[in-house]
Structure 1
Amino acid sequence: MKDAADLLTILDLERIEENLFRGITADRTWQRVFGGQVVAQALVAAQRTVPAERECHSLHGYFLRGGDPSRPILYDVDRIRDGGSFTTRRVVAIQNGQAIFSLSASFQKHEDGFDHQVDMPDVPGPDDIPHGDALKEKILEHAPAAVKRYWQRPRPIEFRPVMLDHYLTENKLDPVQRVWVRCNGEIGDDPHLNAAVLAYLSDMTLLDTSLFAHGLSVFDERVQAASLDHSMWFHRPIRASEWLLYAQESPSSSGGRGLTRGSLYDQAGVLVASVAQEGLIRPRR
Structure 2
Amino acid sequence: MHDPLADLLSALDLTDTHARTSEDIFTGRSQWMPQGRLFGGQVLGQSLVAAQRTIGDDRPVHSMHGYFLRPGQLDKPITFSVDRIHDGRSFSTRRTQAYQDGLPILSMIASFQTVDVGLEHQIDMPTDIPQPEDLPTAADVLDGVDHPVAKVWAHERPFDMRHVPSSVYLSVDGPHVAHQAVWVKTIGPMPDDPTLHRAAMAYVSDYTILEPIFRRHGVPWATPGLKAASLDHAMWFHRFGRIDEWVLYLQESPTATGGRGLSLGRLYSRDGRLLASVAQEGTVRVGPPPAR
The TM-score, its normalising length taken from structure 1, stands at 0.92
Read off the aligned partner of 2:9 and give its amino acid letter: L
Match of 1:96 in 2: 101
Aligned partners of 1:5 and 1:185 also within 8 Å = no
Match of 1:15 in 2: 16
Match of 1:3 in 2: 4
Match of 2:46 in 1: 41
Aligned partners of 1:218 and 1:225 also within 8 Å = no
Percent of aligned pairs with the same residue?
A: 46
- CA-to-aligned-CA distance 1:117-146 (integer Å, 9 cap, x gap): 011122011112234xxx6344547x7957
The 5 Å alignment of 1:1-285 reads 2-18=3-19, 19-27=24-32, 29-121=34-126, 122-131=128-137, 136-140=139-143, 148-164=150-166, 166-170=168-172, 173-284=176-287
Instruction: Measure how far apart 1:165 and its partner are.
Output: 5.7
Read off the aligned partner of 1:124 and give its amino acid letter: P
Aligned partners of 2:232 and 2:281 also within 8 Å = yes
Instruction: Measure how far apart 1:221 and its partner are.
Output: 2.5
Aligned partners of 2:18 and 2:26 also within 8 Å = yes
- Equivalent pairs counted in the alignment come to 281
Aligned partners of 1:234 and 1:272 also within 8 Å = yes
Instruction: Measure how far apart 1:154 and its partner are.
Output: 1.1
Aligned partners of 2:168 and 2:211 also within 8 Å = no
Aligned partners of 2:99 and 2:106 also within 8 Å = yes
Instruction: Measure how far apart 1:192 and its partner are.
Output: 1.2
Instruction: Measure how far apart 1:112 and its partner are.
Output: 0.5
Query: Are residues 240 and 170 of structure 1, via their aligned partners in 2, closer, same or farther at CA, if it must alter by over 3 Å?
Result: closer
How far apart in 2 are the matches of 1:153 and 1:188?
Answer: 22
Query: Are residues 4 and 168 of structure 1, via their aligned partners in 2, closer, same or farther at CA, if it must alter by over 3 Å?
Result: closer
Instruction: Measure how far apart 1:50 and its partner are.
Output: 0.7
How far apart in 2 are the matches of 1:188 and 1:264?
Answer: 20
Matched residue SS, 2:129: coil
How far apart in 1 are the matches of 2:240 and 2:104?
Answer: 32
Aligned partners of 2:170 and 2:222 also within 8 Å = no
Instruction: Measure how far apart 1:170 and its partner are.
Output: 4.9
Matched residue SS, 2:210: helix
Query: Are residues 279 and 146 of structure 1, via their aligned partners in 2, closer, same or farther at CA, if it must alter by over 3 Å?
Result: farther
Unaligned runs of 5+ in 1: none
How far apart in 2 are the matches of 1:30 and 1:148?
Answer: 11
Aligned partners of 1:3 and 1:183 also within 8 Å = no
Read off the aligned partner of 2:7 and give its amino acid letter: D
Unaligned runs of 5+ in 2: none
How far apart in 2 are the matches of 1:167 and 1:17?
Answer: 42
- CA-to-aligned-CA distance 1:242-281 (integer Å, 9 cap, x gap): 0000110011001110101110001101110111100001
Read off the aligned partner of 1:208 and give its amino acid letter: E
Larger deviation, residues 177-186 vs 27-36? 27-36
- CA-to-aligned-CA distance 1:206-232 (integer Å, 9 cap, x gap): 122212111113442322210000010
Matched residue SS, 1:57: strand
CA RMSD of superposed structures (Å): 2.0
